[in-house]
Amino acid sequence: MNAQYPVARPRRLRRTAAMRRMVAGTRLHPAELILPMFVKEGIAEPQPVGSMPGVVQHTRESLRKAAHEAAEAGVGGIILFGIPAHKDARGSGADDPDGIVQVALRDLASDLGDALVLMTDTCLDEYTDHGHCGLLTADGEVDNDATLERYASAAVAQAAAGSRMIAPSGMMDGQVGAIRAALDANGFAEIPILAYAAKYASGFYGPFRDAAECAPQFGDRSAYQQDPAGPIGEALREVRLDLAEGADAVMVKPALAYLDILRQVRDTVDVPVAAYQVSGEYAMVEAAAANGWIDRERVIMESLIAIRRAGADMILTYWATEVARGLS
């Protein structure tokens, strides 16, 4: 039996900063942080994202500088999202060897080597003129199986340009298997896949769609992303399917509103688990802090600790470089 008050006093281990630091059960390390970055074709200067204070659409040169700063701070990886100058129904820029992400990858691979992990989002929504994550049928539905071919081609193009981890985010059935087969067949068997395995149709993505210029021109993505009120166990089913298809790590997105899902996934799998602290989470903190309603730095750290405590081995966060500097 455990002692009871007054013999038991849990506050003894919380009285000083040194004591709290010594017994902390959850810690953050810069290498666990992944910085999402946007690079846009055809701009001369970085373009601020109005709904995400401090985040910009980068030029190739400003991207190189920001990526170097992230590596210097000890950030574990960066994940690239591209905004092409031209969009079409097929999302042709996604696998164009001279597309903006592929060009930027070659820049970064040359600059940084293995200083951090270069990752790429593999989807079509930034590249299609309709804003959906896949090819459309004649009646406007996303064609799951035809889209898989485009994902596979994009993944190979990204790997050839220097991506060291492919992260498919479109929530198409079979996407991991199609990408794994294509990578293996084209000499990239060593490239791992981080699957967006449990990605929800969330209202927290709004600012991201400003940054990536990828809002759907009609409808929404509820037919392929998970329903926040969906069946219990659906997320774990998606995770198991992705692992069976060859995923090397899995992701839950968004993070804070889905900590219960993150915990279930962490308790179920024996691969690394990532969580994406998405644009809406970022924007709410920045907006509240700008109004003086919260302590910005304290809330940032508290939110990241919560995600880590729930089971994330890696956290995608727009504060990655800032937090990594603070931790160092």
Residues with catalytic annotation?
Answer: 199, 253
Q: How many CA atoms lie within 13 A of 97 on its CB side?
A: 1
Separation between Cα atoms, residue 303 and residue 264, nearest integer Å = 19
Separation between Cα atoms, residue 266 and residue 250, nearest integer Å = 10
Q: How many CA atoms lie within 13 A of 286 on its CB side?
A: 16
Separation between Cα atoms, residue 220 and residue 77, nearest integer Å = 30
**Helix ranges, 50-173 (H):** 60-73, 100-112, 144-161
What token pair was written down for 151?
Answer: 């994902």
Beta strand spans in the chain (E): 33-40, 47-48, 56-58, 77-83, 117-122, 165-168, 194-199, 249-253, 273-276, 314-316
| Phi, psi for 294 (deg, rounded to 5) | -140, 165
Pairing of strands 194-199, 165-168: unpaired
Q: Nearest-CA neighbor of 39 among 279, 213, 157, 277?
A: 213
